[in-house]
Protein backbone atom coordinates (compact mmCIF):
# COMPACT_ATOMS: atom_id res chain seq x y z
CA UNK A 1 0.00 0.00 0.00
CA UNK A 2 1.20 3.52 -0.77
CA UNK A 3 2.48 5.52 2.17
CA UNK A 4 0.43 8.67 2.83
CA UNK A 5 1.56 11.53 5.06
CA UNK A 6 -2.01 11.87 6.35
CA UNK A 7 -1.94 8.28 7.67
CA UNK A 8 1.47 8.77 9.30
CA UNK A 9 0.29 11.89 11.15
CA UNK A 10 -2.91 10.11 12.17
CA UNK A 11 -0.96 7.11 13.47
CA UNK A 12 1.13 9.34 15.70
CA UNK A 13 -1.99 11.21 16.83
CA UNK A 14 -3.31 7.81 17.97
CA UNK A 15 0.01 7.10 19.78
CA UNK A 16 0.94 4.25 17.45
CA UNK A 17 4.54 3.43 16.57
CA UNK A 18 5.77 4.33 13.09
CA UNK A 19 7.67 1.76 11.04
CA UNK A 20 11.20 2.22 9.67
CA UNK A 21 9.73 2.44 6.18
CA UNK A 22 7.35 5.24 7.22
CA UNK A 23 10.06 7.19 9.03
CA UNK A 24 12.50 6.88 6.08
CA UNK A 25 9.70 8.00 3.76
CA UNK A 26 8.86 11.11 5.85
CA UNK A 27 12.48 12.24 6.19
CA UNK A 28 13.44 11.80 2.54
CA UNK A 29 10.21 13.34 1.25
CA UNK A 30 10.46 16.30 3.61
CA UNK A 31 14.02 17.00 2.45
CA UNK A 32 12.96 16.81 -1.20
CA UNK A 33 9.97 19.10 -0.61
CA UNK A 34 7.21 16.56 -1.32
CA UNK A 35 6.09 16.66 2.32
CA UNK A 36 5.12 20.26 3.14
CA UNK A 37 6.10 22.31 6.22
CA UNK A 38 2.46 22.19 7.37
CA UNK A 39 2.37 18.39 7.24
CA UNK A 40 5.74 18.05 8.92
CA UNK A 41 4.79 20.55 11.66
CA UNK A 42 1.72 18.50 12.42
CA UNK A 43 3.75 15.30 12.72
CA UNK A 44 6.39 17.01 14.89
CA UNK A 45 3.72 18.29 17.27
CA UNK A 46 2.17 14.81 17.46
CA UNK A 47 5.64 13.42 18.30
CA UNK A 48 6.11 16.15 20.91
CA UNK A 49 2.80 15.28 22.56
CA UNK A 50 2.73 11.50 22.13
CA UNK A 51 6.42 10.62 22.00
CA UNK A 52 8.30 7.93 20.12
CA UNK A 53 9.61 4.64 21.40
CA UNK A 54 13.37 4.00 21.38
CA UNK A 55 13.26 1.96 18.16
CA UNK A 56 11.36 4.70 16.30
CA UNK A 57 13.85 7.27 17.63
CA UNK A 58 16.74 5.15 16.36
CA UNK A 59 15.10 4.87 12.91
CA UNK A 60 14.56 8.65 12.86
CA UNK A 61 18.22 9.21 13.80
CA UNK A 62 19.45 6.90 11.03
CA UNK A 63 17.09 8.43 8.44
CA UNK A 64 18.40 11.91 9.28
CA UNK A 65 22.01 10.71 9.19
CA UNK A 66 21.38 9.10 5.78
CA UNK A 67 20.03 12.41 4.42
CA UNK A 68 23.62 13.75 4.36
CA UNK A 69 27.09 12.32 4.13
CA UNK A 70 28.94 10.29 6.74
CA UNK A 71 32.60 11.11 7.32
CA UNK A 72 35.16 8.33 7.50
CA UNK A 73 38.61 8.80 9.02
CA UNK A 74 41.50 6.44 8.39
CA UNK A 75 42.56 6.76 12.07
CA UNK A 76 40.74 6.78 15.42
CA UNK A 77 39.13 10.05 16.52
CA UNK A 78 36.95 11.11 19.43
CA UNK A 79 34.03 13.53 19.52
CA UNK A 80 32.26 15.37 22.29
CA UNK A 81 28.93 17.16 22.32
CA UNK A 82 27.33 19.42 24.88
CA UNK A 83 23.57 19.88 24.88
CA UNK A 84 24.29 23.56 25.44
CA UNK A 85 24.85 25.79 28.40
CA UNK A 86 25.84 29.23 29.63
CA UNK A 87 29.58 29.92 29.55
CA UNK A 88 30.14 26.35 28.44
CA UNK A 89 33.57 26.58 26.84
CA UNK A 90 34.79 23.11 27.75
CA UNK A 91 35.55 22.29 24.09
CA UNK A 92 38.26 24.96 24.03
CA UNK A 93 40.00 23.45 27.08
CA UNK A 94 39.32 19.80 26.37
CA UNK A 95 40.41 19.76 22.73
CA UNK A 96 44.03 20.96 23.19
CA UNK A 97 44.25 18.83 26.35
CA UNK A 98 43.33 15.59 24.56
CA UNK A 99 45.37 16.50 21.47
CA UNK A 100 48.41 17.04 23.71
CA UNK A 101 47.87 13.45 24.96
CA UNK A 102 47.83 12.01 21.46
CA UNK A 103 44.04 11.57 21.25
CA UNK A 104 42.73 13.02 18.02
CA UNK A 105 39.65 15.20 18.28
CA UNK A 106 37.40 15.72 15.23
CA UNK A 107 34.81 18.26 16.19
CA UNK A 108 32.13 20.09 14.29
CA UNK A 109 30.40 22.62 16.50
CA UNK A 110 27.46 24.96 16.29
CA UNK A 111 26.68 28.61 16.81
CA UNK A 112 24.79 29.92 19.83
CA UNK A 113 21.19 28.78 20.09
CA UNK A 114 18.83 30.90 22.19
CA UNK A 115 20.62 31.77 25.40
CA UNK A 116 23.20 28.99 25.06
CA UNK A 117 26.58 30.00 23.63
CA UNK A 118 28.18 28.43 20.54
CA UNK A 119 31.78 27.23 20.21
CA UNK A 120 31.97 28.50 16.63
CA UNK A 121 31.14 32.08 17.68
CA UNK A 122 33.86 31.87 20.33
CA UNK A 123 36.47 30.54 17.90
CA UNK A 124 35.85 33.54 15.65
CA UNK A 125 37.15 35.72 18.48
CA UNK A 126 40.60 34.60 17.24
CA UNK A 127 40.76 36.93 14.23
CA UNK A 128 41.07 35.03 10.97
CA UNK A 129 40.01 31.61 12.36
CA UNK A 130 38.29 29.90 9.43
CA UNK A 131 35.43 27.81 10.79
CA UNK A 132 34.44 26.72 7.27
CA UNK A 133 37.39 24.49 6.36
CA UNK A 134 36.80 21.75 3.78
CA UNK A 135 36.82 18.11 4.84
CA UNK A 136 40.33 17.66 3.37
CA UNK A 137 41.62 20.55 5.45
CA UNK A 138 39.77 19.30 8.53
CA UNK A 139 41.49 15.94 8.03
CA UNK A 140 44.91 17.54 7.40
CA UNK A 141 44.68 19.75 10.53
CA UNK A 142 43.68 16.78 12.71
CA UNK A 143 46.64 14.81 11.40
CA UNK A 144 49.05 17.73 11.89
CA UNK A 145 47.92 19.15 15.23
CA UNK A 146 45.81 16.37 16.75
CA UNK A 147 42.54 18.29 16.59
CA UNK A 148 40.28 20.46 14.51
CA UNK A 149 37.10 22.34 15.39
CA UNK A 150 35.02 23.66 12.50
CA UNK A 151 31.40 24.63 11.87
CA UNK A 152 28.82 21.97 11.23
CA UNK A 153 28.87 21.43 7.48
CA UNK A 154 25.55 21.67 5.63
CA UNK A 155 25.91 18.21 4.15
CA UNK A 156 26.02 16.50 7.53
CA UNK A 157 22.50 15.28 8.51
CA UNK A 158 20.90 17.61 5.97
CA UNK A 159 17.39 16.71 7.16
CA UNK A 160 18.18 17.85 10.70
CA UNK A 161 18.94 21.39 9.50
CA UNK A 162 15.54 21.69 7.84
CA UNK A 163 13.62 19.92 10.59
CA UNK A 164 15.39 21.89 13.33
CA UNK A 165 14.48 25.21 11.68
CA UNK A 166 10.83 24.10 11.54
CA UNK A 167 10.91 22.91 15.17
CA UNK A 168 12.28 26.28 16.19
CA UNK A 169 9.26 28.02 14.57
CA UNK A 170 6.60 25.56 15.74
CA UNK A 171 7.45 25.14 19.44
CA UNK A 172 8.51 21.54 18.90
CA UNK A 173 12.11 21.71 20.12
CA UNK A 174 11.37 20.43 23.63
CA UNK A 175 10.89 16.75 22.87
CA UNK A 176 13.32 14.10 24.10
CA UNK A 177 13.09 11.82 21.00
CA UNK A 178 13.42 14.84 18.67
CA UNK A 179 16.45 16.22 20.55
CA UNK A 180 18.07 12.77 20.80
CA UNK A 181 17.65 12.04 17.08
CA UNK A 182 18.81 15.54 16.09
CA UNK A 183 22.00 15.34 18.17
CA UNK A 184 22.80 11.71 17.39
CA UNK A 185 22.18 11.97 13.62
CA UNK A 186 25.00 14.54 13.48
CA UNK A 187 27.27 12.65 15.86
CA UNK A 188 26.92 9.35 13.97
CA UNK A 189 27.61 11.14 10.69
CA UNK A 190 30.83 12.63 12.07
CA UNK A 191 32.66 9.32 11.89
CA UNK A 192 34.08 9.06 15.43
CA UNK A 193 33.61 5.71 17.16
CA UNK A 194 34.00 7.30 20.57
CA UNK A 195 31.49 9.98 21.51
CA UNK A 196 31.09 11.70 24.86
CA UNK A 197 27.89 13.64 25.50
CA UNK A 198 27.72 16.37 28.11
CA UNK A 199 24.03 16.50 28.97
CA UNK A 200 23.23 19.55 31.03
CA UNK A 201 20.25 20.26 33.24
CA UNK A 202 19.13 23.37 35.07
CA UNK A 203 18.10 26.97 34.50
CA UNK A 204 20.59 27.62 31.70
CA UNK A 205 19.98 24.34 29.83
CA UNK A 206 17.43 22.84 27.41
CA UNK A 207 16.62 20.18 30.00
CA UNK A 208 15.30 21.99 33.03
CA UNK A 209 15.42 19.02 35.41
CA UNK A 210 17.78 16.18 36.18
CA UNK A 211 15.21 13.45 35.44
CA UNK A 212 14.71 14.62 31.84
CA UNK A 213 18.46 15.05 31.33
CA UNK A 214 19.01 11.46 32.44
CA UNK A 215 16.21 10.19 30.13
CA UNK A 216 17.72 12.09 27.21
CA UNK A 217 21.23 10.83 28.02
CA UNK A 218 20.12 7.19 28.31
CA UNK A 219 18.31 7.40 25.00
CA UNK A 220 21.32 8.90 23.18
CA UNK A 221 23.69 6.31 24.69
CA UNK A 222 21.30 3.56 23.54
CA UNK A 223 21.15 5.00 19.99
CA UNK A 224 24.96 5.02 19.92
CA UNK A 225 25.14 1.40 21.06
CA UNK A 226 22.59 0.32 18.45
CA UNK A 227 24.99 1.82 15.91
CA UNK A 228 28.02 0.04 17.42
CA UNK A 229 29.55 3.25 18.77
CA UNK A 230 31.00 3.75 22.22
CA UNK A 231 28.85 6.54 23.67
CA UNK A 232 28.88 7.75 27.28
CA UNK A 233 27.06 10.71 28.77
CA UNK A 234 28.06 12.96 31.65
CA UNK A 235 25.12 14.59 33.42
CA UNK A 236 26.14 18.03 34.65
CA UNK A 237 24.60 20.99 36.44
CA UNK A 238 23.82 24.13 34.44
CA UNK A 239 22.04 26.28 37.01
CA UNK A 240 25.03 28.58 37.43
CA UNK A 241 27.26 29.84 34.56
CA UNK A 242 30.20 27.47 34.17
CA UNK A 243 32.84 30.18 34.25
CA UNK A 244 33.20 33.80 35.29
CA UNK A 245 32.93 35.09 31.70
CA UNK A 246 29.67 35.12 29.72
CA UNK A 247 29.87 36.51 26.17
CA UNK A 248 32.26 35.30 23.45
CA UNK A 249 35.36 37.37 24.31
CA UNK A 250 34.77 36.97 28.05
CA UNK A 251 34.37 33.19 27.71
CA UNK A 252 37.60 32.92 25.74
CA UNK A 253 39.19 35.01 28.52
CA UNK A 254 37.97 32.41 31.05
CA UNK A 255 39.39 29.63 28.88
CA UNK A 256 42.85 31.23 28.79
CA UNK A 257 42.78 31.91 32.54
CA UNK A 258 41.83 28.27 33.11
CA UNK A 259 44.61 27.03 30.86
CA UNK A 260 46.94 29.37 32.75
CA UNK A 261 46.11 27.55 35.99
CA UNK A 262 43.05 29.22 37.53
CA UNK A 263 41.07 26.70 39.63
CA UNK A 264 37.40 26.90 38.66
CA UNK A 265 34.36 24.90 37.55
CA UNK A 266 35.37 25.15 33.89
CA UNK A 267 38.59 23.31 34.73
CA UNK A 268 36.72 20.74 36.87
CA UNK A 269 34.28 19.80 34.14
CA UNK A 270 36.90 19.89 31.36
CA UNK A 271 39.08 17.48 33.38
CA UNK A 272 36.04 15.25 34.00
CA UNK A 273 35.16 15.13 30.30
CA UNK A 274 38.78 14.55 29.25
CA UNK A 275 39.10 11.75 31.83
CA UNK A 276 36.02 9.99 30.47
CA UNK A 277 37.20 10.33 26.88
CA UNK A 278 40.65 9.03 27.84
CA UNK A 279 39.05 6.02 29.59
CA UNK A 280 36.94 5.35 26.50
CA UNK A 281 39.85 5.71 24.08
CA UNK A 282 42.49 3.81 26.04
CA UNK A 283 40.35 1.32 27.99
CA UNK A 284 41.95 2.28 31.29
CA UNK A 285 40.31 2.79 34.68
CA UNK A 286 39.25 6.17 36.03
CA UNK A 287 42.20 6.61 38.42
CA UNK A 288 44.74 5.99 35.66
CA UNK A 289 42.92 8.27 33.21
CA UNK A 290 42.52 11.08 35.74
CA UNK A 291 46.20 10.92 36.61
CA UNK A 292 47.28 11.09 32.93
CA UNK A 293 44.88 13.98 32.25
CA UNK A 294 46.12 15.97 35.25
CA UNK A 295 49.75 15.41 34.25
CA UNK A 296 49.01 16.63 30.70
CA UNK A 297 47.09 19.66 31.97
CA UNK A 298 49.87 20.62 34.39
CA UNK A 299 52.49 20.27 31.64
CA UNK A 300 50.63 23.03 29.84
CA UNK A 301 48.29 23.05 26.86
CA UNK A 302 48.70 26.65 25.74
CA UNK A 303 51.10 25.82 22.93
CA UNK A 304 48.73 23.13 21.68
CA UNK A 305 45.82 25.59 21.68
CA UNK A 306 47.96 28.09 19.74
CA UNK A 307 48.93 25.41 17.23
CA UNK A 308 45.28 24.46 16.65
CA UNK A 309 44.10 28.08 16.34
CA UNK A 310 47.02 28.84 14.03
CA UNK A 311 46.27 25.89 11.78
CA UNK A 312 42.80 27.36 11.15
CA UNK A 313 44.27 30.78 10.30
CA UNK A 314 43.44 32.35 13.66
CA UNK A 315 45.55 35.00 15.41
CA UNK A 316 46.92 33.83 18.75
CA UNK A 317 47.70 37.20 20.37
CA UNK A 318 44.78 36.85 22.84
CA UNK A 319 46.17 33.54 24.07
CA UNK A 320 49.32 35.34 25.25
CA UNK A 321 47.49 38.49 26.24
CA UNK A 322 44.02 37.60 27.55
CA UNK A 323 43.45 41.05 29.10
CA UNK A 324 43.11 42.39 25.55
CA UNK A 325 39.91 40.35 25.27
CA UNK A 326 38.29 42.67 27.78
CA UNK A 327 38.87 45.89 25.83
CA UNK A 328 35.55 47.63 25.21
CA UNK A 329 34.11 51.12 25.10
CA UNK A 330 32.35 50.92 28.47
CA UNK A 331 33.46 48.95 31.50
CA UNK A 332 30.77 49.13 34.19
CA UNK A 333 31.04 47.56 37.60
CA UNK A 334 28.07 46.57 39.73
CA UNK A 335 28.56 46.38 43.48
CA UNK A 336 26.71 44.35 46.06
CA UNK A 337 24.04 46.27 47.95
CA UNK A 338 24.28 43.97 51.00
CA UNK A 339 26.70 41.67 52.78
CA UNK A 340 26.30 37.88 52.89
CA UNK A 341 27.02 34.78 50.85
CA UNK A 342 26.54 34.44 47.11
CA UNK A 343 24.02 31.61 47.10
CA UNK A 344 23.02 31.67 43.43
CA UNK A 345 24.02 33.19 40.10
CA UNK A 346 21.09 32.58 37.78
CA UNK A 347 22.54 31.28 34.50
CA UNK A 348 19.43 32.09 32.47
CA UNK A 349 19.17 35.68 33.72
CA UNK A 350 22.86 36.29 33.05
CA UNK A 351 22.59 34.79 29.56
CA UNK A 352 19.50 36.87 28.73
CA UNK A 353 21.31 40.00 29.86
CA UNK A 354 24.28 39.26 27.61
CA UNK A 355 21.95 38.46 24.68
CA UNK A 356 20.34 41.86 25.15
CA UNK A 357 23.76 43.58 25.15
CA UNK A 358 24.60 41.84 21.85
CA UNK A 359 21.31 42.89 20.29
CA UNK A 360 22.16 46.55 20.91
CA UNK A 361 25.15 46.55 18.56
CA UNK A 362 25.55 45.77 14.86
CA UNK A 363 29.25 44.98 15.01
CA UNK A 364 31.60 43.28 17.42
CA UNK A 365 28.83 41.35 19.16
CA UNK A 366 31.55 39.07 20.48
CA UNK A 367 32.89 41.88 22.68
CA UNK A 368 29.66 42.35 24.67
CA UNK A 369 29.53 40.39 27.90
CA UNK A 370 30.18 40.16 31.59
CA UNK A 371 32.71 38.81 34.02
CA UNK A 372 31.43 37.67 37.40
CA UNK A 373 33.72 38.91 40.13
CA UNK A 374 32.22 36.44 42.63
CA UNK A 375 31.34 32.73 42.66
CA UNK A 376 28.62 30.80 44.43
CA UNK A 377 29.66 30.27 48.07
CA UNK A 378 31.78 33.44 48.31
CA UNK A 379 31.36 35.64 51.40
CA UNK A 380 31.01 39.26 50.35
CA UNK A 381 30.54 42.67 51.95
CA UNK A 382 28.15 45.40 50.83
CA UNK A 383 29.96 47.46 48.21
CA UNK A 384 32.12 44.57 46.94
CA UNK A 385 32.30 44.14 43.19
CA UNK A 386 29.71 41.59 41.96
CA UNK A 387 30.02 41.76 38.22
CA UNK A 388 31.74 43.80 35.50
CA UNK A 389 29.95 44.56 32.24
CA UNK A 390 31.92 45.00 29.00
CA UNK A 391 29.87 46.78 26.35
CA UNK A 392 29.99 49.17 23.43
CA UNK A 393 26.74 50.78 24.58
CA UNK A 394 26.10 52.73 27.76
CA UNK A 395 24.70 50.77 30.69
CA UNK A 396 21.54 52.23 32.27
CA UNK A 397 20.25 52.03 35.85
CA UNK A 398 17.65 49.48 34.64
CA UNK A 399 20.44 47.37 33.15
CA UNK A 400 22.29 47.42 36.45
CA UNK A 401 19.15 46.32 38.29
CA UNK A 402 18.54 43.57 35.74
CA UNK A 403 21.96 41.98 36.14
CA UNK A 404 21.91 42.42 39.91
CA UNK A 405 18.77 40.25 40.15
CA UNK A 406 20.78 37.31 38.79
CA UNK A 407 22.85 37.35 42.00
CA UNK A 408 21.20 36.04 45.17
CA UNK A 409 22.84 37.03 48.45
CA UNK A 410 21.81 35.22 51.64
CA UNK A 411 22.92 35.16 55.27
CA UNK A 412 23.51 31.43 55.19
CA UNK A 413 26.40 29.76 53.40
CA UNK A 414 24.85 27.78 50.52
CA UNK A 415 25.37 24.05 50.01
CA UNK A 416 28.28 23.18 47.73
CA UNK A 417 27.18 22.96 44.11
CA UNK A 418 27.24 19.44 42.72
CA UNK A 419 28.66 20.06 39.27
CA UNK A 420 28.74 16.50 37.96
CA UNK A 421 25.82 14.24 38.71
CA UNK A 422 26.78 10.94 37.08
CA UNK A 423 28.13 9.22 34.01
CA UNK A 424 25.80 7.04 31.94
CA UNK A 425 27.48 4.25 29.95
N1 LIG B 1 20.84 20.58 19.85
C2 LIG B 1 20.62 19.90 18.71
O3 LIG B 1 21.53 19.67 17.92
N4 LIG B 1 19.37 19.49 18.45
C5 LIG B 1 18.33 19.70 19.28
O6 LIG B 1 17.23 19.29 18.99
C7 LIG B 1 18.57 20.42 20.48
C8 LIG B 1 19.84 20.85 20.74
pLDDT one-digit tens code per residue, 211-222: 999 999 999 999
Length of the chain: 425
Q: Return phi, psi of residue 205, to 5°.
A: -120, 165
Q: Which of 65, 109, 164 to mutate to test the pocket of ligand 1 (most atoms within 8 A of CB)?
A: 164
Neighbours of 204 (CB within 10 A): 30
Q: Provide the 8-state DSSP code for 116.
A: B
CATH number of the domain within which 272 lies: 3.40.1030.10
Helices (H), 170-245: 176-189, 210-226
Domain assignment of residue 237, given as a range: 78-157+175-319
Give the mean pLDDT of 401-415.
96
In a domain, residue 200? The reply is yes
Which residue is closest in CA terms to ligand 1's atom 7?
A: 179
In a domain, residue 60? The reply is no
- Are residue 226 and residue 297 in the same domain, yes or no? yes
In a domain, residue 62? The reply is no
- Are residue 111 and residue 231 in the same domain, yes or no? yes
- Are residue 364 and residue 305 in the same domain, yes or no? no
CB-based pocket (< 6 A), ligand 1: 83-84, 164, 173, 178-179, 182-183, 206
Q: What is the pLDDT of residue 393?
A: 97
- 3-state DSSP call for residue 130? coil
Cβ atoms 254, 87 nearer than 8 A: yes
pLDDT tens by residue, 18-33: 999 999 999 999 999 9
Q: Which of 319, 351, 366 is the last residue of a domain?
A: 319
Helices (H), 146-200: 158-169, 176-189
Q: Which of 319, 345, 377 is the last residue of a domain?
A: 319
CATH number of the domain within which 374 lies: 3.90.1170.30
pLDDT at residue 8 above 80?
yes
- 3-state DSSP call for residue 57? helix
- Are residue 314 and residue 367 in the same domain, yes or no? no
Q: Which of 285, 319, 353 is the last residue of a domain?
A: 319
- Are residue 289 and residue 365 in the same domain, yes or no? no
Which residue is closest in CA terms to ligand 1's atom 6?
A: 179
Q: Which of 161, 170, 183 to mutate to test the pocket of ligand 1 (most atoms within 8 A of CB)?
A: 183
In a domain, residue 252? The reply is yes
Distance 83 CA to ligand 1 centre (A): 7
In a domain, residue 387? The reply is yes
In a domain, residue 267? The reply is yes
- Are residue 312 and residue 356 in the same domain, yes or no? no
Q: Return phi, psi of residue 80, to 5°.
A: -140, 145
CA-to-CA distance for 292 and 297, rounded, in angstroms?
A: 9
pTM: 0.95
Amino acid sequence: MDILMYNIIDKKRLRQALTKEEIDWVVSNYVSGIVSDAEMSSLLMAICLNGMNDTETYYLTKAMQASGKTIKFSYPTVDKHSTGGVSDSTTLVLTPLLASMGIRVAKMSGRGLGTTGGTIDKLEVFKGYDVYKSFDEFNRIIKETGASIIAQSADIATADKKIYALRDKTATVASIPLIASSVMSKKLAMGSNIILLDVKYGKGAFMQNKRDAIRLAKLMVKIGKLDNKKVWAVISNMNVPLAEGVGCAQEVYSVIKTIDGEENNLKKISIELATNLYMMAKNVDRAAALSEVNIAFDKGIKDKLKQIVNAHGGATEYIDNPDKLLESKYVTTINASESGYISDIDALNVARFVMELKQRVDNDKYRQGIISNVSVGDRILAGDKLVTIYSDTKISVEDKDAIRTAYTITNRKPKKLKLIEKVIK
